[in-house]
Structure 1
């Protein structure tokens, strides 16, 4: 029989108890002496039970006589203590090593018949945790899940005696985590959902554990332009439009298109520099050029729909003509240079030569150039009602 008692190093709390069937007997306690291979007297006590306490490791035997019968019992006791220290070693940009160092009591056991010494293995078991999440069951291990913030790791050890010890170590992060979002004050047209050029974008840096002066923002060209160029290129195509280094840059997209952005964040350490890359999950879409002419307007002076307004998006220039049923130009509106985003241009007040035009059907011709370089030509008709 072996009994283990969990305690601290240097302390002896082991105890044994012997109990008779109810009679008062004399309990003779002896302890095994490995030097002689025999049992030496240890304690004698009379009563219905006997307890010996604060025992050192070893084998103890108790004998007594009750009702004419001789009884003898033997047991081993071990005062078990356990200590563990956790440490972080070999920290790099891609991994770090968690290591535990365990010290504890030695369980020395003897075969009584041969006096042969046997050392019982501690049979330590390990469990590493981050919070309540178990990570590993080895004494030491390398993790490639490197956090971008200081993180506590705990190791718990249990030996063959069922005694436990734990230790916590803080991993001091050497890596950054790149992340960002973007916003714009321009609202997209509900009909088309995307904002138009020129589009001012605020990049919001949400990176963790990076140095404030070590950000690189790679703004890619319009993906359609890249693909078109790549389709005929014999050498790699340069896909980068701009590289910014501010922490939270602002950039204006002058032309429509679909744009990818990549952020590289860095953290400098004494012997190396770690970097992390983050891409947008989708493109920044700057809407294509657009011209919309309403089919009806009513220049009757009631303050409602009195002026023909052309809705535009991402235009560099606009040439708009009104023709009567005989094909003669009766009104000409022209706009070039910067056209405010998402504009509604008052293109015709319903007058010809300063006089109200007759109600009826008129034709229009649009010739516009968008910021995306696309020429937009459109023809149609307008109902002028009074």
Structure 2
């Protein structure tokens, strides 16, 4: 018969987890102590204590083959610790103050090992899988010698950095990263003993992205760039092959819509296709243009692609004529000539009128006018003589390279 008291006891202070047995027949349950360790190592230990007097502790170990307890060790003192124990049930008996005491407990050396792997990797998903091995836990009913298997109850947690992704042993990732990524698996059993494994996903997918720039200054009067507009495409893609970029330059959106409104067949909206990492393209005509980049990465058995669109249109405006508000033809070599800034013109008709509306100067230019030209339109003379200081009016009639006609009126100050 087993006696228990507050003074005499059997404990396992170094254990990591404990629970009671559930014997099928034996009426009294015993404690089970778990010790987290490595495979092949035995660190389990039990400690018995008397009420304070010196006693002889007789230790025995349960033999499941015979259903009996075999002698294990004997030790005298007020306490006794047995260490480096193999899995099993240990019983200690001693006589303290004329009373016989007997305690027993089960111990398990608990270990886990985990590995993680990537499988079924495609352009749209891949699978993270785990392989976990560890201790098996089984005890025996002391009366009937029936074996009771204790489930390991492993829990799983997959992480990308500090972000938990799943609590399943295996799962499919659909948010495929475009860079090699380490994933961490953490496994714990019912005793809280844990194992960690890390696997690196070798990315097979690209991530397309780009921006664009131009050296042309935008027109402050119209808040847009002017045709011809040279655009530098800046590739910001990740994990793509340098020889597998396709840039699809769409036609002007207005032209596409007009064509689609009368078409009976699908409209080809692509104006031109470019290749290369960072191509340069010149938009010769005004319009609103969309651009699409397709980036690809070739793998042994398949090729993955990703597509990126601009968030807004590239806008190339119609022809530009800028007339400065002031010029000073006083012979000092600074601002002596009225210079008109133009872009994307085929022809220009420029007239200067006095305050009474009479044309006092006429400047015309036709044929191709280079982009970003500055035309010396008036030297401040009327009929070869210096014009009087004051306010003059101008009229511009210009034709852009895109066929757009631009008329403007305004005034300038002639200062001397």
Normalised by the length of structure 2, the TM-score is 0.85
CA shift, 1:35, in A, is 2.1
Distance in 2 separating the partners of 1:299 and 1:11 = 100
Of the candidates 99, 121, 130, which is equivalent to residue 69 of structure 1? Answer: 99
Shift of the 54–363 alpha-carbon distance from structure 1 to 2, 3 Å rule, reads: closer
RMSD between aligned residues: 2.3
In the alignment, which residue of structure 2 is the partner of 1:267? 297
Of the candidates 98, 105, 116, which is equivalent to residue 135 of structure 2? Answer: 105
Shift of the 380–27 alpha-carbon distance from structure 1 to 2, 3 Å rule, reads: closer
In the alignment, which residue of structure 1 is the partner of 2:361? 331
CA contact (8 A) 1:196 1:341 kept: no
CA shift, 1:17, in A, is 1.1
In the alignment, which residue of structure 2 is the partner of 1:182? 212
In the alignment, which residue of structure 2 is the partner of 1:199? 229
CA shift, 1:385, in A, is 5.7
Of the candidates 306, 309, 313, which is equivalent to residue 279 of structure 1? Answer: 309
CA contact (8 A) 1:178 1:276 kept: yes
CA contact (8 A) 2:326 2:412 kept: yes
Distance in 2 separating the partners of 1:36 and 1:286 = 94
Of the candidates 158, 176, 183, which is equivalent to residue 153 of structure 1? Answer: 183
CA contact (8 A) 1:5 1:80 kept: yes
CA shift, 1:94, in A, is 0.6
In the alignment, which residue of structure 2 is the partner of 1:125? 155
CA contact (8 A) 2:296 2:306 kept: yes
In the alignment, which residue of structure 1 is the partner of 2:318? 288
Provide Cα deviations, 1:319-346, integer angstroms capped at 9, x if missing partner. 2234567876543312234434344422
321-330 or 270-279, which moves further after superposition?
Answer: 321-330
In the alignment, which residue of structure 1 is the partner of 2:407? 377
337-346 or 178-187, which moves further after superposition?
Answer: 337-346
CA shift, 1:287, in A, is 2.9
Do residues 226 (structure 1) and 256 (structure 2) align? yes
- Aligned pairs for 1:1-386 (under 5 A) are 1-294=31-324, 297-303=327-333, 305-323=335-353, 329-357=359-387, 364-379=394-409
Gaps of 5+ in 1: none
Gaps of 5+ in 2: 1-30
Provide Cα deviations, 1:45-76, integer angstroms capped at 9, x if missing partner. 21111111221111111111111111111100
CA contact (8 A) 1:196 1:342 kept: no
Normalised by the length of structure 1, the TM-score is 0.92
